[in-house]
Amino acid sequence: MHIGLLTGGGDCPGLNAVIRAVALALMRDAGARVSGIRRGFLGLMDNQVQPLSAADVQGIVAQGGTILGTHNRCDPFHDGQAGGADRSDIALQTLDEHRLDALVVIGGDGTMAIAHRFAQRGVPVVGVPKTIDNDLLHTERSFGFDSAVSVVAESLGRLETTARSHGRVMIAETMGRYAGWIALEAGLAGAADVIAIPERELQLDALLARCDEQHASGGCTLISIAEGVSLDGQLSVQQTLADSPDPLRLGGVGMALQRWLQPQLRAEVRSVQLGHVQRGGTPTAFDRVLATRFGWQAAQLVQRGQFGRMVALQGDTLTDIALQDVAQGCRRVPPGHPLVQTAASLGVLI
C-alpha cells in the first residue's frame, strides 16, 4: 500500500502526534509506504507530495503545529482563485501520478466535507477529527481542545490577579466559532465569575448587576466569553474571506462588550482577545495521547479497507462515523449538558 497523509484547515496542537501514529502503524503493521502532502488540499493541487520515513516522524509527538504544513482556504471543488470552479480533477491526477491507494485526512468540519466529496469521487478516504473548538459532530472530543482550554484557563488566572489588584472587570474572548466549549470549560477551570457562550442568550442586565455586585464588595469580575456570542442579535465579524470555505472570521465581541459595559460601571473595564495563542505551542499530554489513539485507529481503518469513515471518540471508546454524517453541521453545547448545569448552579453562566 501507498498511503497519502494531509493536514487541512487551521493548525492545532496534536497534529504531529497523529502524523506519527498513522505513519508508524502503517509502516510497521502493514509494510506500507506513507507520503505526506504539503499544505493540505493545496498540496494535491500543486503536486506537493513527499515520502515519509520512520525517522521523519519519530521525534515529533510533542511539537505543535504540523510538519506537513496546512491551508484553510483551498477547496478543490470550489476554487476561489478560479472563480469558484471545480478543479478537483487536478487533485485526482496527483493521486494517480503518485499511485496513492488511500488518503488519510486530518482536519475539522470543512476538511471533512471536502474529504467526503473526494470519497464520492471514488477516493478511499479516512478522516481524523481535528479542531480546538471541539465542535465536530459525532465525536465527544477532538484533539487540540484540551490544549486550548489549558491556555485559556492559565490566561484567566493571570488576568484575575491584575483584575483583583485594580478592582477591574476583565474580559477574555476565546475562540470557538459558533460553539461555546472553550469558553465554558476554560471558564470553569479558570474560575471565571461570568461565562458567556453562543448557545445561550447573554442577559446583559444580569451581567451588569453581577459586575456592580462584585465591585460593591470590593472584588473584581472575570468574564470568559466565546467569540460567537451575539450582542443585541449581532455577531462580531472581524473579517470576511470570500474565497474561504468558512468565509466569516469572528472576533471582537470582547471589545464590543467592554464598550457597552464601561459607561454603566464605576469599575474600569478591560478586554483581551486571546486569539491564536490558543492554538499554538506544545500539546498537552492528554492531547498527545488522544491524537496518538486517533492516528492508530485511522491506520486500522485503512488496513481493514473501511473507507469513507472518520475516527471518533464516544465516551472513552474509539469508533468511526460515516464522513457524510460528520459534514452536516456543528456540534454545539447542548442545553442540558453537565457542564452547563454545573456552571448554572454556580451562578456563572449568564
C-alpha cell at 145: 481542545
β-strands 221-226, 169-174 pairing: parallel
Query: What is d(CA 228, CA 182) in angstroms, rounded to the nearest whole number?
Result: 11
Closest C-alpha among 48, 45, 25, 46 to residue 35: 48
Residues 6+ apart with CB under 8 A from 242: 80
Catalytic annotation present for 133: yes
Please give the full DSSP string across 200-216, using - where no structure is assigned. Answer: S---HHHHHHHHHHHHH
Rounded Cα distance between 170 and 238, Å, is 21
Of the candidates 11, 109, 133, 135, the residue annotated as catalytic is: 133
Nearest Cα neighbor of 10 from 197, 275, 198 is 275
Could you tell me the end-to-end alpha-carbon distance of the chain, in angstroms, rounded to an integer?
Answer: 54
How far apart are the C-alpha atoms of 296 and 267, rounded to whole Å? Answer: 52
Gap between the Cα atoms of 235 and 90, Å rounded: 37
Mind telling me the catalytic residues?
Answer: 133
